Amino acid sequence: MWREQLSQEAQARFAGARVEVIRRIGEVAHRVGASFAVVAGDVFESNLLDPAVVRRSLDAMAEAEVPIYLLPGNHDPLQPGGIFNSPLFRARCPANVHLLFDSEPRRPVPELELIGVPWLSKRPVGDPVGELCQRLQPTAGRRVVVAHGAVDLGSPDPGNPNLIRVSLVEKAIQQGCLDYLALGDRHSTTAIGSSGAIWYSGTPEATRFTEVDPGNVLVVELGDAGPQVTPHRVGTWAFVSQDFTISGREDLERVSKWLEDQPAKERTLLRLAVQGTVSVQVAADFEARLEEARSLYAGVRLAGSGSGLAVLPDDSELLDLGLSGFAEAAADELRTRAGGGDKVAADALALLFRLVRDQA
């Protein structure tokens, strides 16, 4: 997965982390004594990946000491020319990795039936999960379904026929036809409905600022009282959004301390929303703090079109710079425009202030 706010160096580390997290998932599975692991779709970001990424991913899966079942999702559907149909995947797929290429039941362990609902195209029609749940009969053992896609519960378009109908799944659970539905697609770790048996695990590594509690793998224990679901942290990257209001030097120091106190800066992307009215010097110092942060963090971006700070310069600040001639005239014009609310002029004035101050 590529992120445009990452430098080339940070992008390489981000891509590497997405392979390393596979090993941490395998370690969790081994530590808790899991019988098997499932990936509920979007194993790969797309069907057009560098073969080296596929090889490294499969090698990491091979190190797991449990069987792994992969479900094709909307990013990597099971279609001609896709990764799962490629000679590379067939040749490199480890013995412990199995593809859920249809909805025929598998038995990872004798007492459990595993059924996948793979995506066979980018745009499937209907609700194959709900249709499957209506066909299932009660079972004396355990049954897990692995699926991918959005659910109708809480959807802004609940009438969309392609959404997974939660009511059909919960009915199957109540009738003893299903013990657990493992879902992929939503990037945030989320329990769905009221049964406690429908979960999105979320992405094992964070991928965007809008995610809520990503970076988990779910350990699921099936029992007579229903599934017990426990998130285990495996992610190492973070996408952090933070709002600040700056009106003076004290607020700027508070921002600086917050930036300094954040852990794992080299694996953190920041999105800052900043507003307020400040002097030219405070605006210039804020930009300097941002430059320093960009050298420490994996990425720093400002929400919207800029810092959101309004600059109100005063005469004393410009006199302190000791400008003369053309530079003084330019500064006066920028000050006048900035005082009238011209954001570009305010930014230019702050930059001029920093350049002159740094060369002093």
pLDDT in tens, 50-59: 999 999 999 9
Residues 87 and 124 in one domain: yes
Q: How far is residue 133's CA from residue 299's CA, in Å, rounded to a whole number? A: 44
Residues 281 and 174 in one domain: no
Residues 243 and 197 in one domain: no
Q: What count of residues does the chain have?
A: 360
2 belongs to a structural domain: no
277 belongs to a structural domain: yes
> What tokens appear for 184 in the block?
């992929």
Residues 249 and 224 in one domain: no
CB 83 within 8 A of CB 55: no
Residues 59 and 196 in one domain: yes
Residues 74 and 203 in one domain: yes
> What tokens appear for 254 in the block?
């508070």
3 belongs to a structural domain: no
pLDDT in tens, 340-356: 777 788 777 777 777 77
Q: How many domains does the chain have?
A: 2
Q: How far is residue 196's CA from residue 294's CA, in Å, rounded to a whole number? A: 42
Q: Please, which pLDDT band fits residue 317 given cuts at 50, 70 and 90?
A: low
Amino acid letter for position 285? D
Using CA atoms, how far residue 166 sits from 42, 170, 193, in Å, is: 21, 6, 7
Listed residues 233, 255, 280: the one ending a domain: 233
Listed residues 188, 218, 233: the one ending a domain: 233
User: Where in the sequence is the domain holding 38, given as residue range(s)?
Assistant: 8-233
74 belongs to a structural domain: yes
Among 277, 280, 291, 278, residue whose Cα is nearest residue 352: 280
Q: Please, which pLDDT band fits residue 316 given cuts at 50, 70 and 90?
A: low
Q: Please, which pLDDT band fits residue 309 given cuts at 50, 70 and 90?
A: confident
Strands (E), 256-354: 268-278, 299-302, 309-311
1 belongs to a structural domain: no
298 burial (CB, 10 Å; 0-12 / 13-18 / 19+) is: buried
> What tokens appear for 148 in the block?
């991918």
Q: State the average pLDDT over residues 92-115.
A: 97
Q: State the average pLDDT over residues 251-259.
A: 97
Distance of CA 10 to the CA centre of its chain: 16
306 secondary structure, DSSP code = S
Q: Please, which pLDDT band fits residue 212 given cuts at 50, 70 and 90?
A: very high
For residue 20, the domain's CATH number is: 3.60.21.10
Q: Please, which pLDDT band fits residue 229 given cuts at 50, 70 and 90?
A: very high
Residues 93 and 157 in one domain: yes
319 belongs to a structural domain: yes
- Average model confidence (pLDDT) for the chain? 91
Residues 204 and 333 in one domain: no
Sole residue written with tokens 């605006």: 283
Residues 147 and 264 in one domain: no
Listed residues 233, 252, 271: the one ending a domain: 233
pLDDT in tens, 195-209: 999 999 999 999 999
Direct distance between the N- and C-terminal alpha carbons of the chain, in angstroms, rounded to an integer: 44
